[in-house]
Amino acid sequence: MEDYDKLLDKAFKKIPVQAIRSDRFVLPQARVFTSGKTTIIDNMKEIADTLNRDKAHIIKYLSKELGTAGKEEENRAIFQGRFSQNQINELIKYYSNEYVICLECGRPDTRLIRVGRVMTLRCDACGGHRPIKKVRAKKTSMDGGSS
């Protein structure tokens, strides 16, 4: 039995710390760079896929919170103005807490569902649901047209 315990300890030491953690949801850090007076999030598709949300919904939220116009272009998001990587990552964290993470069980296995006229966050893991605030975008657009 003593040999078994030694082998078990040896095996656990070889397992990476991240594999031992029970939290499987890791929010990716936004790769942000500025070009002139615009800020670009290079890995927007990866962030949207991890959060299991539409890129347009996340960009709409970020535009509202940053108080500027934003648009999606391929796998990137482009915003007017200069914003730091720290600012963007904090807003994505707030977004995930408000629109992704279930308040009942703390899991990210959720969907946004419209029930009547109300958007609801429904958890696939525990079955919990709650209404969420509607994201309202600014009227201005980077496309130059009226919206």
- Domain locations along the chain: 2-131
Report the amino acid identity of residue 46.
Answer: E
Report the amino acid identity of residue 72.
Answer: E
| Cβ proximity of 29 and 81 under 8 Å | no
DSSP-derived secondary structure letter, 27: P
Span of 18-22, 74-78, 93-97, 103-107 with lowest mean pLDDT:
18-22
Secondary structure (3-state) at 104: coil
Phi, psi of 43 (to 5 degrees): -110, 45
Q: What are the tens digits of pLDDT across the range 1-33?
A: 678 888 888 888 887 654 444 556 788 899 999
Report the half-sphere exposure of 143 (CA within 13 A, side-chain side). Answer: 7
**Whole-number pLDDT of residue 147:** 40
Q: Percentage of the chain surpassing pLDDT 70?
A: 85
Which CATH code fits 2-131? 3.30.30.170
